Chains A and B, each alone.
Chain A
Amino acid sequence: MSAASRVGVGALTPEPLLENNPSLHDVTEAICAPVELDVAKTPIGWLIGFVCALGMLGVFLGAVGYLFWKGIGIWGNNQPIGWAWDITNFVWWIGIGHAGTLISAILFLFKQKWRTSINRFAEAMTIFAVICALMFPIIHTGRPWLAVYWLLPLPNQMSMWPNFRSPLMWDVFAVSTYFTVSLLFWYVGLIPDLATLRDRAKTKTRALIYGIFAMGWRGSNRHWQHYEKAYLILAGLSTPLVLSVHSVVSFDFATSVLPGWHTTIFPPYFVAGAVFSGFGLVMTLMVLAREFFGLKHLVTMRVLENMNKIMLVTGTMVGYAYAMEFFIAWYGGNPYERFTFINRMFGPYWWAYWTMISCNVISPQLFWFRSIRRSIPAMFIISIFVNIGMWFERFVIIVTSLSRDFLPTSWGYFRPTLFDIATYVGTMGLFFTLFLLFLRFLPMIAISELKGVSPHADPHAHPPANGATGKENH
């Protein structure tokens, strides 16, 4: 596929997925390079990032340790605002995870080949984000080692079972299933690449460790046959799963009778917002990682532009949902509902509301312009806005509704304490610690899948006679 052969096909030919048509061996080399660097040659940027992340992780452990000692009263939430930053952060982190599953499962089912350059990266983010998310419901029980009896149906000396008619119980199952299935999906995808790292290992220890996790994978077609089927099934399972998880999370709110929560639009609205925020964080981190690790020819502008288009679509869906909530609040004729929405806009939390609108509704609209969709600084900044906006969305939903419900005598105003902030910042430390370890020890792009969509992989397109098949180094 030389440059000349593309001339004359016209503007309708899509941009190539990989720049400069790298050979299969080049793909392996480029992706394995950051993983195979000597310890002494660990990039200084990575080290600085890792030390910062560990510091933040220390903050997290300190905050949580003190909480276990003292109790959850160290957080700012209290009547009437019984849920505040803890669940805001939980929903925010879970939402971030959704982009990974969308990329790995839904785009796989739709045969979007461009997904292969970002799916591993995004799936890793999913897993780490869900770990961070799980921290909040676990911690907010105060004594998690005692909470297992009402979180899970475990036989206990009190002969009690949990209440399965409660959406909080559904949440336990939804989120833990989501974590487990994402981990399985990720691991199955990693097996062939772990075999690559095993086969390239220069030391016995590396060969042993990667070898254990590669489980003796030998690329046999008799295995690939089952593997492809299994991968397809896992994608097919993850697709409704990811839609269900944020729907179930939204049930925590929607099945209550609180104004601003009790609405049927919540499940689709939460799912769209989740995908939107997840793409935001994938973009923030991918822009940095591809630059830093020299993977710009594998994660091309075409891929980034497609991600921006998805952010535009989901951002617009979120904007539509905001508008529709308002419409129903007016059209539904419920005075409490109507008050809640006017209160969101102009009440004591007006600043949070307008931050949310400007970050989530206005900023992604800039992606209508091709030049902005293809500008690295622009997409980086907008993606950060999206992350901020989506955090505020959850804050607005949770805190404004709780702070002013039916009786003005029981109104309140929420202020976070130092421990609220420390726990939230701390989970970022947890996330980045795991994420930086992933970047250093596992291939951040799916090697085998990326090869599978490169032009060299097509067994039908290249008659071997012309010698232009990219297998020079034989």
Chain B
Amino acid sequence: MSAHTTVTTDESAEPKIFGVVGEYATPHDLLEAVKAVRAAGFSRIDTHTPFPVHGMDKAMGLPGSKLPWLVLCGGLTGTASAIALQWWMNGYDYMFRIGGKPFISYQAYVPIGFELTVLLSAFTTVLTLLAMCMLPRPYHPLFTHARFARFSDDGFFLSVEASDPQWNEAKAKAALEKAGGQHITTIRDISET
């Protein structure tokens, strides 16, 4: 985490700008700042906080997460494969009579049907979560910001990214500052030089 990359000296030789970031004192300030920065016309914004801030999804105008639907698909796959597995193995491929029990006994399939539903749902949840967050991601331009490490302690950061359709560095900085931001810094993407 090297701080020297964020020093702004000359334009021409410098890496591409990723965006600007400001720091806020409390979750409340951050929430208000998000509202203000959005009102100023910026939409490619993100916050970085030590814990999820209540009401932030709404303030940022994020649509609901689609994750549960994928988990449902994963879970149903689990149920279906458990039923098919047991039915085919004990009912057709390798039939043997134990204790007079029928070869195909749906009652007996319930526990494993349930367990595989849960197992596949859990795997889908975690893998979908990582995919939706595009993690693992060892490098991110924000990690070059010297103060950014505080996000996992007690820092509340708000970033406006240069990919924003309304992008204007000066205006973005002004918006962050007006909302009470401190240590407002331009972040450059050193991976794209």
Which residues of A approach B to under 8 Å, CB–CB? 23-25, 28, 153, 159-167, 169-170, 173-174, 177, 180-181, 184-185, 187-188, 192, 195-196, 198-200, 207, 211-212, 215-230, 233-234, 237, 240-241, 244, 248, 251, 447-449, 451-452, 456-460, 462-464, 469, 471, 473-474
Evaluate whether A199 and B152 lie within 8 angstroms (CB atoms) in the complex, with A165-B101, A251-B111 already known: yes
Evaluate whether A218 and B151 lie within 8 angstroms (CB atoms) in the complex, with A165-B90, A184-B126, A230-B128 already known: yes
Contact of A240 with B118 in the complex, beta carbons under 8 Å: yes
Of residues 75 through 102 on chain B, the ones whose CB sits less than 8 Å from some CB of chain A are 85-86, 89-90, 93-94, 96, 98-99, 101
Which residues of B approach A to under 8 Å, CB–CB? 1, 25-31, 46-57, 60, 62, 65, 67-68, 71, 85-86, 89-90, 93-94, 96, 98-99, 101, 105, 108-109, 111-112, 114-116, 118-119, 121-123, 125-126, 128-130, 132-133, 135-140, 142-143, 148-154, 157, 182
For A25, the chain B residues whose CB sits under 8 A away are 153-154
Contact of B126 with A188 in the complex, beta carbons under 8 Å: yes
Contact of A226 with B129 in the complex, beta carbons under 8 Å: yes
The 6 closest A-B pairs by CB, nearest first: A215-B136, A24-B154, A452-B51, A199-B149, A216-B137, A170-B111
- Docked Cα-Cα span, A471 to B60, in Å, equals 23
- Docked Cα-Cα span, A224 to B152, in Å, equals 13
Q: Which residue of A lies closest to B56 (CB)?
A: A221
- Docked Cα-Cα span, A28 to B151, in Å, equals 12
For A153, the chain B residues whose CB sits under 8 A away are 85, 89
Q: Which residue of A lies closest to B93 (CB)?
A: A161
- Docked Cα-Cα span, A10 to B174, in Å, equals 46
Evaluate whether A462 and B90 lie within 8 angstroms (CB atoms) in the complex, with A234-B125, A237-B122 already known: no
Evaluate whether A173 and B116 lie within 8 angstroms (CB atoms) in the complex, with A221-B60, A457-B53 already known: yes
A and B contact pairs by CB, cutoff 8 A, 20 listed = A159-B94, A163-B96, A180-B119, A184-B126, A185-B122, A188-B129, A192-B51, A192-B152, A216-B136, A219-B50, A224-B51, A224-B53, A226-B133, A229-B67, A230-B125, A230-B129, A233-B71, A233-B125, A244-B114, A452-B51
> How far, in Å, is A467 (CB) from chain B's closest CB?
9
Contact of B52 with A221 in the complex, beta carbons under 8 Å: yes
For A473, the chain B residues whose CB sits under 8 A away are 154
> How far, in Å, is B175 (CB) from chain A's closest CB?
17
For A198, the chain B residues whose CB sits under 8 A away are 152
Contact of A230 with B67 in the complex, beta carbons under 8 Å: yes
Contact of A459 with B54 in the complex, beta carbons under 8 Å: yes
Evaluate whether A226 and B67 lie within 8 angstroms (CB atoms) in the complex, with A173-B112, A181-B118 already known: yes
Our pick among A23, A160, A222, A227 for the contact of B62 (Cβ within 8 Å) is A222
Contact of A233 with B121 in the complex, beta carbons under 8 Å: yes
> How far, in Å, is A336 (CB) from chain B's closest CB?
20
Our pick among B93, B126, B154 for the contact of A471 (Cβ within 8 Å) is B154
Contact of A464 with B26 in the complex, beta carbons under 8 Å: yes
For A174, the chain B residues whose CB sits under 8 A away are 111, 115
- Docked Cα-Cα span, A180 to B126, in Å, equals 12
> How far, in Å, is A238 (CB) from chain B's closest CB?
8
> How far, in Å, is A148 (CB) from chain B's closest CB?
15
> How far, in Å, is A472 (CB) from chain B's closest CB?
10
- Docked Cα-Cα span, A253 to B114, in Å, equals 20
- Docked Cα-Cα span, A221 to B26, in Å, equals 15
- Docked Cα-Cα span, A223 to B109, in Å, equals 37
- Docked Cα-Cα span, A217 to B137, in Å, equals 8
Evaluate whether A220 and B154 lie within 8 angstroms (CB atoms) in the complex, with A161-B90, A225-B57, A457-B53 already known: no
For B25, the chain A residues whose CB sits under 8 A away are 464, 469, 471, 474
Specify the main secondary structure of chain B where it touches its partner. helix
> How far, in Å, is A214 (CB) from chain B's closest CB?
9
For B85, the chain A residues whose CB sits under 8 A away are 153
Q: Which residue of A lies closest to B150 (CB)?
A: A199
14 new A-B contacts, CB < 8 A, other than A241-B115, A459-B54, are A164-B86, A165-B90, A216-B138, A218-B48, A224-B51, A226-B65, A226-B128, A227-B133, A233-B121, A244-B115, A244-B118, A248-B115, A456-B26, A456-B27
Our pick among A162, A166, A181, A195 for the contact of B152 (Cβ within 8 Å) is A195
For B121, the chain A residues whose CB sits under 8 A away are 233, 237
Our pick among A169, A218, A458 for the contact of B54 (Cβ within 8 Å) is A458
Contact of B126 with A230 in the complex, beta carbons under 8 Å: yes
For A166, the chain B residues whose CB sits under 8 A away are 98
Contact of A164 with B89 in the complex, beta carbons under 8 Å: yes
Evaluate whether A216 and B135 lie within 8 angstroms (CB atoms) in the complex, with A199-B152, A469-B28 already known: yes
> How far, in Å, is A181 (CB) from chain B's closest CB?
4
Contact of A181 with B122 in the complex, beta carbons under 8 Å: yes
Contact of B94 with A161 in the complex, beta carbons under 8 Å: yes
Contact of B111 with A244 in the complex, beta carbons under 8 Å: yes
Contact of B112 with A164 in the complex, beta carbons under 8 Å: yes
Q: Which residue of B lies closest to A163 (CB)?
A: B98
For A196, the chain B residues whose CB sits under 8 A away are 50, 152-153
Contact of B151 with A460 in the complex, beta carbons under 8 Å: no
- Docked Cα-Cα span, A220 to B27, in Å, equals 14
> How far, in Å, is A233 (CB) from chain B's closest CB?
5
For A163, the chain B residues whose CB sits under 8 A away are 90, 96, 98
Most buried by B among A220, A244, A457, A462: A220
- Docked Cα-Cα span, A28 to B130, in Å, equals 25
> How far, in Å, is B87 (CB) from chain A's closest CB?
9
> How far, in Å, is A230 (CB) from chain B's closest CB?
4
- Docked Cα-Cα span, A244 to B113, in Å, equals 12
Q: Which residue of B lies closest to A461 (CB)?
A: B28
